[in-house]
Amino acid sequence: MGHGCHARALRRFFACGTFKAVIPFFFFLVGICIGSFLNVCISRIPEGLSIVSPGSCCPRCSKPIKPYDNVPILGWLWLRGKCRNCRLPISLMYPVIEFLTGAMFVLTYYTFGLTLHTFKFLIFGCLLIILIVTDLRVRILPDAINWPGFGVGLALAARVPPDDPTGMALLVRLLRYFDLGYFRTHAVARSYLNTFLNVTDAFLGAAFGSLLLLGAAALYKLVRKREGMGMGDVKMMAMVGAFLGVRDTFLTIFLGTLLGSVVGITLVATLYAFGWKKRLAERAHRRGLGELSAIRWKLASQYHLPLGTFLGIAAFLVVYAMPWILRRMFE
């Protein structure tokens, strides 16, 4: 009798609004702590440094950061953005990344609930945050993130396949053109076949994303006679494809290049309007290298935008905005 009462009490607790309100708060706390670790990855991996040791310290005075100063978000606030010992300014990037990671954790919970999809896309989101910020800061998409992410994406696909019809289409074709009655009648064999097709979905997404960007890079170099993107973008899309599958990988590339183009054209026009490198253009004009306006525009158009950053933002849009848009469309 007592055990039954306890069970009913637990069920009422888990069903009540208080518990449901606590879950997002818990996700946010875990997210900002993970965000603190992502900051370590962002600052150290491009430098080839260990993300495990040594502990966090000031780059100027080398004093270790105290645990109470290392509290996510709050530590930066009560230090007023400066080292406690030498007063070296601490980048605003650190609390911003921590907050955004916490917000991403909460958004993932609200999008997917307490499911394996949440676990999968939390990992994916953390990988994307590292790549987006690293590419924006130092124009690097590290192999130390792309290749492990690719492997994790394939492994997770066995249990949480991409939301993509490619695998099902393959299954239908296999059952139609081959005598696979054994798989129809044996549950274990059918389970292995489904797992194989799920991983195939992820692998096809990785191959599609990486090869599409590789082809675009080769075409750009052929037409413009210079590099248009690095291999880091190609490897990043292999990782993204392993998580998202063919269809959503295509959407990611489409939205990423569209977003990058819009921002790039706007930025070039802004740099031109505000006279970016105007003195250099004037010197070139005096030496007879061309019209001043044409030189200024060419200099502004040489500004390099990180494609990986826009691809990462697009992947977030595909994962989190697309389901919301589709629900709105079919309500």
In-domain check, residue 288: yes
Q: CB within 8 A of 34, min separation 6: which ones?
A: 101, 105, 126
Range of the domain at 33: 1-114
User: 79 with 177, same domain?
Assistant: no
User: 268 with 165, same domain?
Assistant: yes
User: 58 with 170, same domain?
Assistant: no
Alpha-carbon distance of 154 to 147, in angstroms, equals: 11
Q: Which pair of tokens denotes residue 134?
A: 């690293």
In-domain check, residue 136: no
Is residue 277 a contact partner of residue 236, using CB atoms and an 8 Å limit? no
User: 185 with 328, same domain?
Assistant: yes
User: 98 with 219, same domain?
Assistant: no
Among 79, 114, 149, the domain-final residue is 114
Is residue 242 a contact partner of residue 205, using CB atoms and an 8 Å limit? yes
User: For the chain, what is the domain count?
Assistant: 2
User: 202 with 88, same domain?
Assistant: no
User: 93 with 179, same domain?
Assistant: no
In-domain check, residue 125: no
Global pTM reads 0.86
In-domain check, residue 150: no
In-domain check, residue 149: no
* Residue 48 Rama label (left phi>0; alpha psi -120 to 50; beta): left
DSSP secondary structure letters along 164-214: -SHHHHHHHHHHHHS--HHHHH-HHHHHHHHHHHHHHHHHHHHHHHHHHHH
User: 109 with 30, same domain?
Assistant: yes
**Exposed / middle / buried, residue 220 (Cβ in 10 Å: 0-12, 13-18, 19+):** middle
Alpha-carbon distance of 119 to 316, in angstroms, equals: 15
User: 188 with 306, same domain?
Assistant: yes
Is residue 154 a contact partner of residue 202, using CB atoms and an 8 Å limit? yes
Say what the pLDDT of residue 319 is: 95
Say what the pLDDT of residue 281 is: 80
Q: CB within 8 A of 256, min separation 6: which ones?
A: 307, 310, 311, 312, 313, 314, 315
CA within 13 Å, CB half, 209:
37
Helix axes 116-138, 307-316, angle to 10 degrees: 160
Q: What is the pLDDT along the chain (331 residues), one digit of tens a residue?
A: 455 565 565 566 555 556 677 899 999 999 999 999 999 999 999 999 889 888 888 777 878 888 888 899 999 998 888 888 888 898 999 999 999 999 999 999 999 999 999 999 999 999 999 999 999 999 999 999 999 999 999 999 999 988 877 656 665 666 565 555 555 555 566 677 678 878 888 999 999 999 999 988 888 777 766 666 778 999 999 999 999 999 999 999 999 999 998 998 898 888 888 887 888 887 887 888 788 888 887 777 777 788 999 999 999 999 999 878 877 777 6
Is residue 133 a contact partner of residue 308, using CB atoms and an 8 Å limit? no
Say what the pLDDT of residue 164 is: 76
Among 114, 140, 171, the domain-final residue is 114
In-domain check, residue 188: yes
Task: State the sign of the Cα–Cα–Cα–Cα dihedral 139, 90, 31, 322.
Answer: negative
Alpha-carbon distance of 320 to 246, in angstroms, equals: 17
User: 179 with 258, same domain?
Assistant: yes
In-domain check, residue 124: no
In-domain check, residue 144: no
User: 14 with 80, same domain?
Assistant: yes
User: 176 with 89, same domain?
Assistant: no
Say what the pLDDT of residue 8 is: 65
Among 98, 114, 130, the domain-final residue is 114
